[in-house]
Amino acid sequence: MNIKGIRCLGIWGLGLFLTLAVVIPATWAAEEYKITFEQWTKAKAFYDDPRSTMKELPLNKIVPPEDYAKLTFDIEAMRKAWTEVVGFKAPDKVGKIVPEIKPGKYTYQDKEKYPGLKELMAPEIYKRFNPGGPPHAGNFSELEIIPTKQY
Q: What is the DSSP string of 35-51?
A: --HHHHHHHHHTT---S
Question: Domain for residue 50, yes or no?
Answer: yes
Helix (H, G, I), strand (E, B) or coil at 9: helix
Q: What is the pTM of this model?
A: 0.46
pLDDT at 43: 78
Rounded to whole angstroms, how far apart are CA atoms 89 and 80?
9
pLDDT at 105: 95
Asked if 59 and 15 sit in the same domain, the reply is yes
Mean pLDDT over the full length of the chain: 78
Question: Domain for residue 83, yes or no?
Answer: no
Among 71, 99, 127, which residue terminates a domain? 71
Question: Domain for residue 79, yes or no?
Answer: no
Question: Can you give the residue range of the structural domain that contains 133?
Answer: 89-145
pLDDT at 106: 95
Question: Domain for residue 102, yes or no?
Answer: yes
User: Which stretch of 41-55, 57-71, 90-104, 134-148 has the lowest confidence by average pLDDT?
Assistant: 41-55
- Is pLDDT above 90 for 2? no
